Amino acid sequence: MHNLQRRVYEKAPVFLQNILLSLEGYRKTKNVYGDVYYSHLIELANKNHLKEEEVRKYQEKELRKLIQHAVNNSPFYKEFYKGIDIAEIQTIEDLKKLPVLDKETLEKNINFIHTNHRSSIIRILASNKTGKPLKFLFTKEDIQKRIALRDFFRKQHGAINLEMKRASFSSRWLIPTKQQKNLLWRNNFYMKQRLYSAHYCSEQNAELFVSDLEEYKPDFIDGLPSALFEIAKYINKNKVILSFKPIAIFTVYEKLYSHHRREIEEAFGCPIRDQYFSSEGVPLISECVKGKLHYNLFSGVLESSVEGDMIVTCFTTQGTPLIRYNIGDELKLIKNQTKCECGSIHPVIEYINTSVPEYLQSKSNGKLTSIYFSRIWSNFPEGINKIQFIQNSEESIDVLIEGTENYTNAITESIHNTMEYLFGRDMTFNIRIVDEIPYLTEKDFHLVVNNVASRKYLC
């Protein structure tokens, strides 16, 4: 939501907020659920029964298309692949002839990696490892294909988006600061979706959420595992027997711990189907009915480096092509292609180790993982060069900023307001402009530093 929309939304009564959200939903659906979305969904269903050889051929065709597109339209790739005969890259094996793109090179060259798409959708991401807000461009086609891949995965588990009732536990800003009523969700009628504010999912509010879920009876649920965990704990502790049973729960954006999974599955009486998530864009990695993670061959190519790093090539990155990009997480693919009991042709992942989502602790709003802070940098990509959040006590949080020449006091004020909204008014926030944010060790930078948690050894 833009600032003006947010001001209008904040002052509107709840029924109007529901209408505004639905209108935004309608606007979004035109971008997200357009022709490409539907045709890709049909294509995925048709290709689902192809033989391995045919799938490989499709994957290689898409790979050649992506490389050609990058060289033709991205100034960076044109230079990066200088001296390499692109025509020689025909198969997945050939891909190894191209250099690996590391995070540092991506960050330095991000504006040259972008291709020239006039109507791209912009997303600002801050890397957990550098604290630098980066501008990623996605074309409408990228977005529609990515959502089609996600929805096809969910459909295989019985959940049909836009047709069935969906409950989403979202980190989105939904509830105005000044709201007095205990109404912690909003409706997006157009998308048959009720959005629950994950930010308010705490022990104190759990009862409210549970009684609304009882009334709403969603067909399926998605959202942040940390928020669902709070609700599940309440259900299990109080032995609440729900009058509905979701088809499945799809966890997103945060790492899913095994104790989260146990608690949530027990509470809702249905399986969790997890999906590996990275906002830069990675091939779809999702869980099958047998509880194994598969990587979808129609969405890209996954490789594991000698050191065990995950290297991704993603077909839905036309706006900011990612070809052999070392994402920094660890990956192990199952060798010798043992077939999964689910019958899928897509390769099984044996092991995937994502960096632990760091979090800060509020006095009254529980833990907040870095996904909640994204609003801070997404508003000011031109003003902030680097940012870091440090917690040394339960009462306060330091925000260090390396500003650019576009940094203004209004940015400080806005950051302060956002921190107050997220963490509550019972904490203080010290926002400091510094010349340089130091690394923790020579190579190690963390977006979030929680010295309180490391003392207590929480999590």
The residues that touch Zn ion, with contacts defined as CB under 5 A, are 288, 290, 292, 340, 342, 344
Closer residue to Zn ion, CB minimum distance, 151 or 287: 287
Nearest to 252 by CA among 347, 375, 148, 154: 154
Q: What is the distance between the alpha carbons of residues 349 and 286, in angstroms, rounded to a whole number?
A: 10
CB of 337 to Zn ion, least distance (A): 13
CB of 274 to Zn ion, least distance (A): 13
144: left (phi over 0), alpha (psi -120 to 50) or beta: alpha
Closer residue to Zn ion, CB minimum distance, 229 or 276: 276
Residue with tokens 């944010």: 437
Closer residue to Zn ion, CB minimum distance, 48 or 392: 48
User: Which helix (H) or strand (E) element contains residue 195?
Assistant: strand 193-197
CB of 291 to Zn ion, least distance (A): 8
Closer residue to Zn ion, CB minimum distance, 270 or 288: 288
Closer residue to Zn ion, CB minimum distance, 288 or 415: 288
CB of 362 to Zn ion, least distance (A): 39
Looking at residue 88, what DSSP letter applies? Answer: G
Q: What is the distance between the alpha carbons of residues 150 and 456, in angstroms, rounded to a whole number?
A: 38
Structure tokens at 435: 């010349």
> Phi/psi of residue 148, each to 5°?
-65, -40
The total of other beta-carbon atoms located within 10 Å of residue 378's CB is 15
CB of 298 to Zn ion, least distance (A): 16
Is residue 449 within 8 Å of 458, Cβ to Cβ?
Answer: no
CB of 155 to Zn ion, least distance (A): 16
281: left (phi over 0), alpha (psi -120 to 50) or beta: left
Closer residue to Zn ion, CB minimum distance, 256 or 288: 288
Closer residue to Zn ion, CB minimum distance, 127 or 296: 296
DSSP letter for each residue of 305-369: -TT-EEEEEETT-SSS-EEEEEEEEEEEE-GGGPPPTT---SPEEEEEEPPPPPEEE-SSS-EEE
Reported residue count of the chain is 459
CB of 282 to Zn ion, least distance (A): 19
Closer residue to Zn ion, CB minimum distance, 213 or 288: 288
Closer residue to Zn ion, CB minimum distance, 6 or 290: 290
CB of 340 to Zn ion, least distance (A): 3
CB of 49 to Zn ion, least distance (A): 15
DSSP letter for each residue of 121-163: EEEEEE-TTT--EEEEEE-HHHHHHHHHHHHHHHHHTT--TTT
Task: List all residues 6 or more positions away from 412 whose beta carbon is below 8 Å from its beta carbon.
Answer: 431, 433
103 SS3 class: helix
CB of 348 to Zn ion, least distance (A): 6
Task: Give burial (CB, 10 Å; 0-12/13-18/19+) of 380.
Answer: buried
Task: Give burial (CB, 10 Å; 0-12/13-18/19+) of 12.
Answer: middle
CB of 350 to Zn ion, least distance (A): 12
CB of 40 to Zn ion, least distance (A): 22
Structure tokens at 397: 């949080």
Is residue 359 within 8 Å of 137, Cβ to Cβ?
Answer: no
Closer residue to Zn ion, CB minimum distance, 153 or 173: 153
Closer residue to Zn ion, CB minimum distance, 64 or 292: 292
Closer residue to Zn ion, CB minimum distance, 80 or 153: 153
